Amino acid sequence: MTRISNSPSPLPQTTVAASSRTPDNSTARATAKPAPARLQPGFDASYWSQLESLAGRPPANATDITFLREADAAWNERIELIRASRTAIWGSFYIVDADERGFQLFEELIAARRRGVEVCVAIDSLAHLATAFGDKLADRKKLAGLLEELKAAGGVVSWAGTLDDQLKNPGAGIHFKSLVSDNRVAIVGGRNIAEEYFGEWDDFDTRLEGPIVQQIGRATLELLRSCDPTPAPRRDAAGDRLAAQVQGRIAELLAKPP
């Protein structure tokens, strides 16, 4: 069970609830009272000011934290987050495989869009291309069809990165993996949307609520603003018009108060 104490903390704290899985697979939850804004003895206070300077904004608190170490819980939380969304879902993904995980994720996003939820997601174009070589042609076509179905329903699917980007900075890509619901709840972590990340491999995610989610949401939208809704080399006049429409839409979302 995760324990949260009132020991001195390097950041100002709000009330925080954290949960983890117990051996019988139930959810254990601990809630701490607000802790004073104190620093650990010997802690270098300039560290936080340096981070704030790099980020361009002060650090934010979470009011609820759930650690998602177990693969099934990590997947189910994603699906529940999408189904509970009422206004907007924003996401960024490095790998979306043409397998049951990728299919289900986009089927859920399509369903959300059809009930009126704003859906905007970014996918790393080069990672998507590289992993596609290991997928069956029929599966690749199915995933491509789901992406087109989401766009036809009014959702945004944009692509990050070009071959030129990769040559200039090998290994670059969307390693910021987020899923944000209603600018209120977010899941961030290491897992890609592929079967092996929810079975064979050990990984970690965190579900967050509170002011920090607004920063995660803004970072996701800023990433989307830098993406291209028409992956190269398909760009034509229609692609230019689509790009302008999507960029305008993302700009409007960024202009809204949290």
Q: What is the pLDDT of residues 109-135, one digit of tens each?
A: 999 999 999 999 999 887 877 777 777
Does 258 score more than 60 pLDDT? no
Which of 208, 159, 151 lies closest to 180 in space, CA to CA? 208
Specify the higher pLDDT residue, 60 or 221.
221
Q: What is the pLDDT of residues 183-218, one digit of tens each?
A: 999 999 999 999 999 988 889 999 999 999 999 999
Instruction: Tell me the CA distances in angstroms from 224 to 61, 90, 91, 106, 187, one per residue in order.
Output: 24, 9, 9, 17, 17
Average pLDDT over residues 52-66: 82
Average pLDDT over residues 87-107: 95
pLDDT band at 137 (very low <50, low <70, confident <90, very high): confident
Does 180 score more than 90 pLDDT? yes
- What is this structure's pTM? 0.74
Residue 145 confidence (pLDDT): 95
**Helices (runs of H) and strands (runs of E) counted in the chain:** 8, 9
Does 35 score more than 80 pLDDT? no
> What is the pLDDT of the chain when averaged over all its residues?
78
- The rounded percent of the chain whose pLDDT value lies above 90 is 46
Does 166 score more than 70 pLDDT? no
CATH number of 70-255: 3.30.870.10
Residue 7 confidence (pLDDT): 31
DSSP secondary structure letter of residue 138: H
Left if phi > 0, otherwise alpha if psi is -120 to 50, otherwise beta: which for 56? left
The beta strands (E) that lie in the chain are given as 16-21, 27-32, 64-68, 88-93, 118-124, 156-160, 178-181, 185-189, 205-209
Residue 8 confidence (pLDDT): 33
Domain edges within the chain: 1-59, 70-255
